[in-house]
Structure 1
Amino acid sequence: MEKTTSQKIRLGLFVIIGLLIFILATYLIGDKQKMFGKTSHLETVFNNVNGLQIGNNVRYSGVNVGTVRGIEMLNDTNIKVDMIIDKTIFKHIKKDAVATIGSDGLVGSMIINILPGKGTDAPVEPGDEIRSVNRVSTDELLNTLSKTNNNAALLTENLLTITEEINAGKGTVGLLLNDAELARDLKQTMHYLKISGRETSNATKNLNKLLESMNNKDNVIGLLKDTAVANSIKTIVNNLDNSSLEINRVVTNLNKTILNIKDGKGALNYLSNDPNLVNKIDSTMTNVNESSAKLNENLEALKHNFLFRGYFRRLEKQKLKEQKK
């Protein structure tokens, strides 16, 4: 059965529309995968790719700039990832940039995020290898979370045991919460501590005032801080030391002299130890006094004697002249 013209036209339109849709889809997918633009390769090495697949997106500062072209296992700890990047982006990526693996949303596919560096290095060249940072995987997070939950359970159990003992009045905290007498004693103790603290504060203030007053030159301690006064006191003390030394020497010499007088055979020894000599000296002094008195009487007699009377008169006249002058 031959097809009509309208059917042929509809078939041609369907084929043309399908071909346009295919071309458009191919273009969109190719543009997204950077198949039609000017691109270059960039490499990085990870310890764990965390489910990264060929064709996943590569982002730089949150912007899609390329796709993953290859994943190669170098050894048991290093995996090389080959990325194809738009050439216009290479001038913005510096050599100190860092590649990390993340997810596109909470449940999206894995992607590579290129984080900008400090911007002080030169831009990367095609074929360069940039540094990478391995983030914590979901399994590690789950393991850590499991350990945290176990620790939280143990902590809750211990806390429950402690609260039960406190409610039962066991331990210091339990006694404080359940023993009214101990609570009163503690309250009284705190009251006394408060009073002691207040008294200590007052004593500290008084001590500070006393220390401040010491700096005043009107009192003795403040005066002692004066350099001139300190030097004068130092000089007086030195003089006292020297005087003390001289006094000690004089006392020593005096002791020696006394010992010599006491033990020697001189006149002082006889005077101090021989009473007969003292009596003789007393009688001698008495005789001297008597002789002096008699001599005075003889002189008076000579004054009245006619042989010496003129001589004494001349002496009296001469004394009177000297007194008048």
Structure 2
Amino acid sequence: METTLKNQIKVGIFLVLGIVITMGSIFMLGANKALFSNFTHLYADFENVQGLARGSVVSLSGVVIGNIEAIDFVPEKNLLRVNMKIENDYLRRVFKGSEVEIRTQGALGDKFIYIIPGDPRAEAIKDGDTLPIAKSTDILNVISERGKETEKIFDIINEVYKLTKTLNHENHIGTMVANMSQASRDFKIISEKSLKIVSDFSDGKSPSVQMKASIDKLNNILGKIDRGEGTLGALVNDSSLHDQLKALVGGSQRKNHVKSLMRTSIEKD
């Protein structure tokens, strides 16, 4: 009887130890702890951690490389310093020039640190280094940082909405579309007629009666000028008339003619 009791006690002790060891292992794995890993601490200073908390994930290009160990206020500055515990196995992938930013993951909006890798040719980050903050790409952060400019954008959107609502309510859009469609059809007709006229000329076809009459009159006038008929023809073909006209208009020649006339009149007297 005593032997049976002792055996039961031993079995109970081993069972309790097994449960404790199993629960401890599950806890360590669930907390994302590596029993035999070495860690390095990196830092980043934020104006606003946006709900970031201890234990949040630190990711490098989508790979989890550590966790946030602490978030503390920076003395004499309006900043919050985030202490990141990074596994040494991944530290060699974080180079000088790498930047950090706060991102959101999952449907619940959990915050985490995302490290943007730097130039692989640069020197590797060392324990205790502080990483610079990347320029925010979150639309909500951009809106909050550029409040006045964002208000102008929303004002413009509101005005465009009012305009489109008014046009749609009074059926102006339909009228404008109909007018544009009619103008397009008219322009097409004019273009087709113009192309037909040009095509007729290029093919040697006879043009319209009015256009043919105008061309005949122009050819008749040019022919008379070329033959020296009329005043314009005489001016064009007779060089003496051209010289006399130039003499009458020109300054020095005109003076010589006046002097000659005066001399002639005096001699006659």
Aligned to 1:111: 112
Change (3 A) 1:176 1:121: closer
Aligned to 1:261: 267
- Preserved CA contact (<8 Å) 2:96 2:119: no
Task: For 1:14 and 1:192, locate their aligned partners in 2 and report how far apart those are by CA, in whole Å.
Answer: 96
- Describe how 1:1-325 pairs up with structure 2 within 5 A: 4-25=5-26, 27-28=28-29, 32-34=32-34, 36-74=36-74, 77-107=78-108, 109-119=110-120, 121-133=122-134, 134=136, 136=138, 162-166=167-171, 187=182, 192-198=186-192, 244=247, 251-252=257-258, 254-263=260-269
Question: What is the TM-score normalised by the length of structure 1?
Answer: 0.49
Change (3 A) 1:34 1:48: farther
Change (3 A) 1:37 1:204: farther
Change (3 A) 1:199 1:48: same
| Deviation string, structure 1 residues 228-263 (Cα, Å, up to 9, x no partner) | xxxxxxxx9xxx79x957965764564244123213
- Preserved CA contact (<8 Å) 1:38 1:86: yes
Task: Tell me the amino acid that sits aligned with residue 260 of structure 1.
Answer: I
Question: What is the TM-score normalised by the length of structure 2?
Answer: 0.57
- Preserved CA contact (<8 Å) 2:167 2:173: no
Change (3 A) 1:156 1:67: same
SS of 1:114's partner is: strand
Task: For 1:40 and 1:96, locate their aligned partners in 2 and report how far apart those are by CA, in whole Å.
Answer: 18
Deviation at 1:27, TM superposition (A): 4.8
- Preserved CA contact (<8 Å) 1:71 1:82: yes
- Preserved CA contact (<8 Å) 2:45 2:80: yes
SS of 1:255's partner is: helix
Task: For 2:163 and 2:100, locate their aligned partners in 1 and report how far apart those are by CA, in whole Å.
Answer: 44
Higher helix share: 1
Deviation at 1:89, TM superposition (A): 2.1
Aligned residues: 212
- Preserved CA contact (<8 Å) 1:90 1:123: yes
Deviation at 1:46, TM superposition (A): 1.5
Which of the two has higher C-alpha Rg? 1
Aligned to 1:299: none
SS of 1:13's partner is: helix
SS of 2:100's partner is: strand
User: Percent of aligned pairs with the same residue?
Assistant: 19
Task: For 1:88 and 1:130, locate their aligned partners in 2 and report how far apart those are by CA, in whole Å.
Answer: 18
Question: Could you list the runs of 5+ residues in structure 2 that have no partner in the other structure?
Answer: 201-238
SS of 2:132's partner is: strand
Task: For 2:176 and 2:93, locate their aligned partners in 1 and report how far apart those are by CA, in whole Å.
Answer: 68
Task: Tell me the amino acid that sits aligned with residue 165 of structure 1.
Answer: E
- Preserved CA contact (<8 Å) 1:104 1:110: yes
Compute the RMSD of aligned alpha carbons.
4.8
SS of 2:133's partner is: strand
Q: Which has the bigger relative contact order, CA under 8 A and spacing at least 6?
A: 2
